[in-house]
Structure 1
Amino acid sequence: MQSSATVLVYSDDANTREQVRLAAGRRPAADVPPVTFVECATLPAVLAALDAGGVDVCVLDGETVPAGGMGVCRQIKDEIFDCPPVLLLMGRPQDAWLATWSRAEAAVTLPVDPVEFPEALAALLRDRLSLDA
């Protein structure tokens, strides 16, 4: 198992970024490595972090303005080679079709659920890290 995993968290709301960190904890599941977070509040910061490499999973807030997480997801899927899997945070369950349009691998609704979120994050980490093995 990899010694640690890096999770990029994109939201213009510091409280949402904090909810993600608290829900995931140091290790979202016993069978995945501890996580470190890279927090981004702007699209340029997301692109710079992804260009630098080393990100295992992206958590994108669909409610961020002006560049929403769904549009950012679609953009990075087109522009970033070997783009990490994306967990999209949606404002409403009815937005699930937009998550599909954006090509996100998983989606959960806001506010961040302390049970649902770490399970979804751990599943993406398992898939990503098994590909790197």
Structure 2
Amino acid sequence: MTPETTRNLEVLVYSDDRQVRQDVMLALGKRPARDLAEVSYSECATGPALIGLVDKGHFDLLILDGEATPVGGMGAARQLKDEIFNCPPILVLIARPQDAWLATWSRADAVASHPINAVLLADAVTGLLRPKMTTSSTVATA
């Protein structure tokens, strides 16, 4: 990867709990995997802010807290998938393994659990971001 052909990956982290947002960003760091570009984070704490940012911005990945209130990450994921053309991949954080079926209903592309396990979260995020790197590299060098 050369600086000319690589751009930062844009990740939006949504949770009403600032500590959850910080835990996610700390677990992933600047680069979740060696073969990925650096990650730039945006944060939001409310449902309307989430919808507005996704509608206006270009994000490579959305990480949504399924335990957020009053707008939970699973409901927000479903709404985003329904309303945003070419919605970016969505990873939903779930508190209980039993909630995985709800994440499927929400059309989330991946799930990770609370409390945050840095290794598992990085693996899930890397799986969602790697295709973005291939696409951006192809576009940048064409």
TM range (shorter): over 0.9
Are positions 1:86 and 2:90 aligned together? yes
**Displacement after TM superposition at 1:76 (Å):** 0.1
8 Å contact from structure 2 (residues 11, 61) kept in 1: yes
What is the alpha-carbon distance in structure 2 between the residues aligned to residue 74 and residue 128 of structure 1? Answer: 21
Answer with 1 or 2: which has the greater Rg. Answer: 2
Q: Secondary structure at the match of 1:115?
A: helix
1:48 Cα deviation (Å)? 1.4
2:64 and 2:77 in contact (8 A); partners too: yes
What is the number of equivalent residue pairs in this alignment? 133
Q: Report SS of the residue matched to 1:28.
A: coil
- Structure 2 residue 55 is the aligned partner of structure 1 residue 51: yes
Deviation of 1:129 after TM superposition, in Å, equals: 3.4
What percent of counterpart residues are identical?
51
Which residue identity does 1:41 align to in structure 2? A
User: TM-score, normalization: structure 1?
Assistant: 0.95
Residue deviations 1:29-83, cap 9 Å, x none?
0011100111010011111111122210000000000000000000000001110
CA shift digits 1:75-108 (9 cap, x unpaired): 0000011100001100101111011000000001
Unmatched segments (≥5 aa) in structure 2: none
How do 1:51-130 and structure 2 match up within 5 A?
Answer: 51-130=55-134
Query: Helix, strand or coil: the match of 1:96?
Result: helix
**Cα-Cα RMSD:** 1.1
Q: Any runs of at least 4 consecutive aligned residues in structure 1 with deviations exceeding 4 A, and if so which? A: none
